[in-house]
């Protein structure tokens, strides 16, 4: 009986505890399931609402991801201009910028204060009379007084906060009493490059009650003509008279001469990677750059000198004639000087002449070792240990097998880094960008209006034409740009007067307002003509887009077509 009772009691106890354990297990399982469902819900919402950033406006890794996602070797010709090394914001994968040259330290308030202290100390320690007191101020302006330059420097720091200033020259007298002309170099703080540009302005200077100089008025861009550099003319005039110096704003710092290889020993001791011309020729500029940087990246990976063809074929999409134009010079569009400093390159013509010259079949000399590679499927990794003087990649297969960038696809993409930092836009084009921005005193807003063929293609862009119409533009801009601001319109709309309606609210500027900057009297015209063996160079469609885009980037408020003006997708219907 006792056992029976105890068993019964035990069973009754377990009956009481069992539901508690089960309830705890159920509670935990329900909680876990709720967390799982909630996580799936959050993930679903993110997946639906997330829009990836536009890789054209992002860092170089984003560009790499964009192109390597597609392995079908096709490119859509786009009229946009890809950002180059001086534009892109640095990312962890990018190589560090080279250290700035010693002269690259900008003039700051701290530098000005040190200069002031030096002036005071030198005056105190010299036998010269002390600086005038408030009671006996000399109200006559003396442009050579170092305090005039200090006043100009302080004014510039206040007036142009987006500009870094360098290398001020001593002020000189202006054209009237109370005026001084001052020249300096500068760069936009947004640029990653150390390139400098030149400005010279006229300042109206007065003397304050405390004997300090102050700027009353500053002239516009390049208004200080007396501070402009003079270039001595060679030769003599009529009757043996010496010609007066020629006044010019020419940028004499551009050095895009072609490097030479020199002696036979120099040639034979080098290692070269030579790409013969492939199907990339006459394709869009973005295609060209993607391929060119693949070749340059492989040369860097193999520690070889890249043989570079300076001849560029500009695709028909950039030409009014709608025809491909061969014989364009790489230096019209990109900074050859910076490329020479950043990468080991040799110009193709120079290379082929030396190769032919030194590749002689003498008894005592061997022919120069060459390895010919006839397919892109031979990877850079397979060529890494090759000892040949020249590795010659030949692209004779039909398209798309003959595209240079095929070399960097697949497994090679893990090893080849495209050197975007080596590619800058031409300084000659950037001088035009800088002059337009400078004439607007670096204080303007900008709108990018994409029209052209896209506005006519209602199938892919059903709303673009209306959303970029003058009335719609004006309504959109009223909510984004303050009235009567300087407004730069970057556009591919060919009809100049299309934007006249905006002039009722804004001071409108278009690229064609600055035609004199590439006209036949301009420095750009003279320098490109010199590059082209005395033949004039057309300011073509790609140059226009490049300048338009760069000026747009420098606007304080920037209004984009496919982000601000229309809900149409950038690449057509259902591509957002």
Answer whether residue 97 is part of any domain: no
**Per-residue pLDDT, 380:** 97
Answer whether residue 221 is part of any domain: yes
535 and 492 in a single domain? The answer is yes
404 and 270 in a single domain? The answer is yes
d(CA 68, CA 408): 9
Q: How far apart are the first and last CA of the chain?
A: 82
Of 301, 288, 299, nearest in space to 392 by CA: 299
- Are 183 and 224 spatial neighbours (Cβ–Cβ below 8 Å)? yes
Show which of 422, 444, 467 is a domain's final residue.
Answer: 422
Query: Phi/psi zone of residue 219: left (φ > 0), alpha (ψ -120 to 50 degrees), beta?
Result: beta
Query: Phi/psi zone of residue 270: left (φ > 0), alpha (ψ -120 to 50 degrees), beta?
Result: beta
Show which of 422, 449, 483 is a domain's final residue.
Answer: 422
13's tokens: 């106890």
365's tokens: 């000399």
Answer whether residue 83 is part of any domain: no
Structural domain range at position 508: 426-565
**Per-residue pLDDT, 11:** 47
Answer whether residue 339 is part of any domain: yes
**Per-residue pLDDT, 193:** 83
User: What pTM does this model have?
Assistant: 0.79
Beta strands in 336-485 (DSSP E): 345-347, 370-373, 390-393, 445-449
Mind listing the pLDDT tens digit for each residue in 192-227?
888 899 999 999 999 877 778 999 999 999 999 999
309 and 409 in a single domain? The answer is yes
* HSE-up of residue 180 (Cα within 13 Å, Cβ side): 27
432 and 551 in a single domain? The answer is yes
User: Tokens 């007191």 identify what position?
Assistant: 133
Beta strands in 175-286 (DSSP E): 179-188, 197-207, 213-218, 230-231, 246-247, 272-275
403 and 437 in a single domain? The answer is no
Name the β-bridge partners of 393: 275, 373
Mind listing the pLDDT tens digit for each residue in 514-553?
999 999 999 999 999 999 999 999 999 999 999 999 999 9
Answer whether residue 87 is part of any domain: no
d(CA 120, CA 146): 11
535's tokens: 């033949």
d(CA 486, CA 442): 10
d(CA 25, CA 31): 10
Q: Could you give the number of structural domains in the chain?
A: 4
- Are 467 and 568 spatial neighbours (Cβ–Cβ below 8 Å)? yes
Show which of 247, 274, 309 is a domain's final residue.
Answer: 247
Mind listing the pLDDT tens digit for each residue in 291-303?
999 999 999 999 9
Answer whether residue 65 is part of any domain: no
d(CA 474, CA 504): 9
Low-confidence ranges of the chain (pLDDT < 70): 1-18, 21, 43-80, 88-104, 123-139, 230-252, 361-365
Answer whether residue 3 is part of any domain: no
**What is the enclosing helix (H) or strand (E) of 307?**
strand 305-308
268 and 411 in a single domain? The answer is yes
321 and 309 in a single domain? The answer is yes
520 and 557 in a single domain? The answer is yes
286 and 188 in a single domain? The answer is no
323 and 379 in a single domain? The answer is yes
Helices and strands, counts by H and E, the chain = 16, 18
**Per-residue pLDDT, 568:** 92
**Per-residue pLDDT, 171:** 95
**Per-residue pLDDT, 339:** 95
Answer whether residue 305 is part of any domain: yes
391 φ/ψ angles, rounded to the nearest 5 degrees? -105, 120
**What is the enclosing helix (H) or strand (E) of 182?**
strand 179-188
């Amino acid at each position: 009986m006792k056992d029976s009772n105890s068993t019964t009691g035990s069973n009754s106890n377990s009956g009481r505890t069992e539901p508690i354990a089960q309830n705890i297990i159920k509670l935990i399982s329900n909680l876990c399931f709720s967390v799982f469902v909630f996580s799936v819900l959050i993930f679903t919402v993110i997946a639906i609402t997330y829009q990836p950033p536009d890789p054209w406006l992002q860092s170089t890794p984003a560009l790499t991801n964009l192109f390597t996602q597609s392995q079908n070797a096709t490119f859509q010709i786009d009229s946009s201009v890809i950002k180059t090394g001086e534009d892109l914001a640095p990312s962890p994968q990018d190589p560090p910028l080279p250290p700035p040259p010693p002269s690259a330290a900008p003039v700051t308030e701290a530098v000005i204060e040190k200069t002031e202290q030096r002036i005071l100390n030198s005056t105190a320690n010299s036998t010269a009379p002390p600086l005038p007191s408030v009671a006996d101020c000399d109200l006559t302006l003396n442009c050579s007084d170092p305090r005039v330059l200090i006043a100009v420097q302080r004014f510039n720091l206040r007036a142009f906060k987006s500009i870094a200033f360098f290398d001020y020259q001593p002020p000189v007298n202006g054209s009237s009493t109370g005026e001084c002309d001052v020249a300096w170099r500068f760069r936009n703080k947004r640029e990653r490059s150390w390139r400098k540009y030149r400005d010279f302005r006229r300042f109206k200077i007065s003397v304050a009650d405390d004997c300090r100089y102050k700027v009353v008025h500053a002239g516009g861009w390049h208004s200080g003509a007396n501070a402009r550099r003079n270039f001595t003319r060679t030769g003599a005039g009529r009757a043996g008279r010496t010609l007066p110096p020629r006044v010019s704003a020419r940028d004499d710092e551009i050095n895009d001469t072609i490097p030479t290889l020199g002696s036979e020993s120099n040639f034979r001791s080098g290692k070269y990677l030579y790409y013969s011309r492939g199907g990339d020729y006459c394709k869009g500029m973005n295609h060209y750059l993607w391929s060119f940087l693949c070749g340059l990246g492989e040369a860097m990976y193999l520690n070889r000198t890249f043989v570079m063809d300076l001849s560029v074929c500009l695709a028909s999409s950039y030409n009014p004639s709608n025809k491909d134009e061969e014989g364009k010079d790489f230096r019209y569009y990109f900074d050859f000087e910076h490329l020479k400093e950043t990468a080991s390159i040799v110009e193709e013509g120079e290379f082929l002449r030396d190769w032919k010259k030194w590749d002689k079949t003498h008894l005592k000399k061997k022919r120069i070792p060459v390895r010919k590679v006839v397919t892109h499927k031979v990877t850079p990794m397979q060529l890494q240990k090759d000892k040949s003087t020249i590795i010659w990649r030949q692209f004779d297969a039909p398209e798309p097998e003959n595209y240079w960038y095929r070399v960097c696809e697949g497994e090679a993409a893990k090893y080849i880094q495209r050197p975007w930092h080596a590619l800058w836009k031409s300084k000659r084009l950037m001088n035009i960008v800088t002059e337009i921005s400078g004439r607007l005193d670096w204080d303007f807003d900008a709108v990018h209006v994409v029209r052209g063929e896209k506005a006519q293609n209602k199938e892919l862009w059903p709303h673009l034409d209306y959303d970029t119409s003058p009335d719609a533009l004006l309504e959109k801009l009223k909510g984004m740009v303050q009235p009567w601001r300087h407004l730069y319109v970057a556009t591919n709309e060919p009809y100049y007067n299309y934007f006249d309606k905006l002039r009722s609210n804004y001071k409108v500027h278009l690229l064609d307002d600055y035609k004199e900057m590439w006209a036949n009297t301009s420095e750009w015209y003279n320098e490109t003509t010199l590059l082209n063996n005395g033949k004039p160079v057309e300011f073509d469609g790609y140059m226009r887009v490049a300048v338009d885009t760069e000026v747009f980037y420098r606007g304080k408020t920037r209004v984009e077509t496919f982000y601000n003006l229309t809900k149409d997708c950038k690449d057509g219907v259902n591509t957002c």
